[in-house]
Amino acid sequence: MADRIPRSEFAANYALPDWRILLHSIEGWFVAPTFPAGAAFLTAVADAAEAADHHPDLELRYPGRVHVRLTSHDARGLTSRDADLAATISELAAAAGLTSEPSAAEQVEVAIDALDIDLVRPFWNAVLAYEDEPPVVPGDTVDGIRDPRGIGPGFWFQQMDEPRPQRSRIHLDVIVSHDEVQDRLAATLAAGGTLLTDEHAPAFWVLADAEGNEACLCTWQGRD
């Protein structure tokens, strides 16, 4: 088992231009000229992952876009194994004539404000057919749930000390790469959004639409 590497250290120590850090993982998007070429690349990645005994999440989308997400589940974050396999995958992509699209990296999580997380979490597990996400620190409150199929967005529960009747109780966290967030922020504001606070930037910016529904633009920065 490799040791988890803080994200700031990972970013400083590994040159991976095809990849972007998104909280607990790194993601790469690669564009093949045809769907069969994308499938062949997917197979090559699977073979490399099996040889390394380190397995990413893989998706092939028409007409030939391949999405790769790497994380070390046993370390609950990024390790040298992720960096090594990412470098190998980039080499495979270049050899096969694929182009990378790092600006496409993105994740979406749904955040729910809760006064009693243990009380409300089972409802969301049941209605979504999700399961608990083990806490990073054993024994801590379970504040996240996940799709066991790896398809749906993650949900997490934000501990509240008192009710907030005049605010949204559910909001989206949109996680983008650190070098894309300013463009996304500008586009959101130009589309009629309001910046509620940038107090916690660059970890996250809190925004709202014209009727007060909230979303956060998030990056990995400012969290280690």
Q: List the chain domain ranges.
A: 7-104, 106-218
CATH of domain 7-104: 3.30.1360.20
pLDDT tens for 9-36 read: 999 999 999 999 999 999 999 999 999 9
Q: What is the per-residue pLDDT for 166?
A: 67
DSSP 77: B
pLDDT tens for 118-152 read: 999 999 999 999 999 988 778 888 999 999 998 99
Question: Does the structure show a pLDDT above 80 at 72?
Answer: yes
Q: What is the per-residue pLDDT for 168?
A: 73
Q: What is the per-residue pLDDT for 74?
A: 87
Q: Does domain 106-218 have CATH number 3.10.180.10?
A: yes
Q: What are phi and psi of 110, to 5 degrees?
A: -105, 125
Q: What is the per-residue pLDDT for 164?
A: 73
pTM above 0.85? yes
> Which range (56-60, 138-142, 195-199, 215-219) has the least confidence?
138-142
pLDDT tens for 144-198 read: 999 999 899 999 999 988 877 766 789 999 999 999 999 999 999 999 999 999 9
- What is the C-alpha to C-alpha distance for residues 222 and 2, in angstroms, rounded to an integer? 23
